[in-house]
Copies of this chain bind each other. A is one copy, B any other.
Amino acid sequence: MAERFFSEKNLAFTLFNVHDIESLLAADHFNEYTRESVDMIIGTAKKIAVEHMFPIFSEMDKNPPKYVDSTIRVHKKVRDFMSLSGEGGWISAIFSYEQGGQQMPVSVYNACQFIFASANYSLSVYPVLTTGAVNLILTFGSDELKETYAPHMIAGKWQGTMALTEPEAGSSLGDVRTTAELTEKKYYLIRGQKTFISAGDHDMTDNIVHLMLARIKGAPAGVKGLSLFVVPKFRPGDSGALEFNDVNCAGCYHKMGYRGAPIAQLSMGEEDDCRGWLVGEPHKGLRYMFQMMNEARIGVGLGAVGISSAAYHAAFEYARERLQGRNITEKDATRPQVPIIEHADVKRMLLQQRAIIEGALSLMVYAGKLVDLAHVAAGEEKERCELLLDFITPMVKTYPSEMGVVSTSLAIQCLGGYGYSDEFPVEQYMRDVRIHPIHEGTTGIQGMDLLGRKVTMHKGRAAGIYLEEVEKAVAAARAFTELAAYADKLASAVVLLKQVTGALVGIAVKGEIDRFLADATLYLEMSGIICIAWQWLLQGVAVQKALPAAAAADRDFLEGKFITMKFFFEYELPKIEGLRTRLLSQDAVTLSASPRHFAD
């Protein structure tokens, strides 16, 4: 089993050298944070990861949740971890002091979430889901809801969930059928089914609190008729004791991976006694949910990067120890075998993983920083950060998710047959990461979001801000001789992206919306590669700045980082060429296919 699952040096470099998180700490809002305290927080996160999370990583996979007597039984250590997350202040870390939180920068919190995901992704989601749910209550809920729910959830005693999906409403949330009927007692009666609810039921917290989308009777069809409710499994009764709230767990899914977390099916109101409490105003449920969506989607990206990082470290450890073969020019079969890391193709596979992981991690930290900046800035600067975050979110969610499947598969390939066996953790990493292109909005949905909404919103202003940032990085890189060629490559890539975007928007202008969006997923793929190239150029600049004064011990790291940057530009970025060709083609192949063409 691998004992390392992320690089501390790379994480610190990304936070401080690439994204200068220290400058952020100068803001009043974060004035209790310093470089030293951030280092301590990361050290604490690592300790938790090593001591509490990784030891049960494989065990949780091999003993997945079981549905027994109408409830889901999960690993016993989940209770300890939720308590630890509550007591350590992790669940409320990013909340303001007034909300009982620690006002931790999201960029720093995300760095810790990356560590947790790399150690044991399934375990890491229990507190994170609780954070998301209680955040909705604290942001939009009444004082009564806050008082009733927030303390237990923040303490890790009650699990929080986001309950959106239904059997007939997955990607199409407008089709949610769960109903809410107002009673005379301020609460609503909830009736309906939910499915695929992460941590939607389990036995390791005293309660499960669902932040649930439902349609108030008489509300309009579609997403505009959805309201947000607090629907606990057990409701606090008049005496304060918990009473069953008619939220019935109907089963759990047995999954390919991500098996430490229970994904529940729920049925509300079987005895017609499921009570829900409205959060905020009626019919604004999806809007509220979506105000948390950017952060949830960064979370998915982070999870994928964390898993990929762990797989990489397992592959790297194997590659430097496993002896197999000799240099291809060595004909003497009596010479000792060499570690496989000496073979070009193995180095290629390791570098590709690093190019994906370190590029994506940089984007994740940057996205967290935008959340922080939007928080401390005001006026135009605040709006700028928000628009930029909105714009990059589809890439933040999708690039690590889709490429995480590729990256973990490469980790398996580095180990050959051993990688396919469960004696090594890499096969689990590939199974675990495969959920990420699906949950919190599939890749297809993200593509539509980017091309159909983000590119054109505010008359292209968000896209403009994004391109300005990329061009700023290109200009900064040109100051270094060693980076000039890569700055040029990114600049050329941006030209292609503008060309493709222009051509597609031209189709939209003609009113051919079907054709405009038919290849949105490929547009997202192309955009994602360029976005990561941008992050790599930022890293290249940081390397060049750090090299002259670098300690001997850091030179290998910096040189390795620079080689990985080159790898991205040499091996990954050229993929946009084929995507460009396709995206500029006039042949709407997929639209020409009808269901009858698939039958035979």
Contact = CB atoms under 8 A, between A and B. Distances in A.
Nearest to A354: B598
A513 interface: yes
A365 B371 CA distance: 55
A481 interface: no
Interface stretch (A98-106, A117-125, A242-250, A323-331): A323-331
A581 interface: yes
Given A333-B223, A574-B578, A597-B559, A165 B514 contact: no
A222 interface: yes
Contacts of A344: 514, 517-519, 590-591
Interface stretch (A151-159, A386-394, A440-448): A440-448
Interface stretch (A29-37, A127-135, A186-194, A345-353): A345-353
A256 B420 contact: yes
A502 to B, nearest CB: 19
Given A221-B333, A514-B344, A316 B589 contact: no
Contacts of A334: 221-222
Given A417-B165, A571-B582, A589 B351 contact: yes
A237 interface: no
A143 interface: no
A596 interface: yes
Nearest to A515: B344
A148 interface: no
Contacts of A221: 333-334
B171 A416 contact: yes
B324 A519 contact: no
A531 interface: no
A443 B413 contact: yes
A46 interface: no
B253 A421 contact: yes
Nearest to A565: B589
A144 interface: no
A514 B348 contact: no
A491 interface: no
B595 A339 contact: yes
B560 A589 contact: no
Interface in A545-587: 556-557, 559-560, 563, 566-567, 570-571, 574-579, 581-582, 585, 587
A599 interface: yes
A280 interface: no
A577 B570 contact: no
A598 B342 CA distance: 12
B351 A593 contact: yes
A422 interface: yes
Given A255-B420, A348-B521, A172 B593 contact: no
Interface in A246-273: 253-258, 263
Given A434-B412, A556-B596, A439 B422 contact: no
Interface string A312-329: 000010001001111111
A321 B135 CA distance: 38
A9 to B, nearest CB: 4
In the complex this chain forms, how many copies of it are found? 2
B222 A333 contact: yes
A53 B434 CA distance: 27
A184 interface: no
A434 B421 contact: no
A556 B347 contact: no
A566 B589 contact: yes
A593 B347 contact: yes
Contacts of A9: 600
Interface string A510-538: 00011001111110000000000000000
A344 to B, nearest CB: 4
Contact of A448 (B324, B328, B351): B328
Q: Find the residue from A175, A316, A520 having the highest chain B CB count within 10 A.
A: A175
B438 A593 contact: no
A341 interface: yes
A328 B517 CA distance: 9
B574 A589 contact: no
A140 B394 CA distance: 60
Given A168-B323, A256-B422, A342 B595 contact: yes
B434 A409 contact: yes
A362 to B, nearest CB: 16
B514 A329 contact: yes
Interface string A424-439: 0001001100110111
Contacts of A560: 593, 596-600
A558 to B, nearest CB: 9
The list of the 3 closest CB pairs from A to B, nearest first, reads: A222-B333, A560-B597, A574-B578
24 contacts: A171-B325, A172-B324, A223-B333, A255-B427, A256-B427, A328-B513, A341-B598, A342-B595, A343-B444, A348-B519, A350-B598, A412-B434, A413-B438, A420-B438, A556-B597, A556-B600, A559-B597, A560-B598, A563-B593, A571-B589, A574-B577, A576-B578, A577-B581, A578-B578
Given A254-B421, A257-B420, 6 more contacts: A175-B333, A328-B517, A341-B595, A560-B600, A570-B587, A575-B575
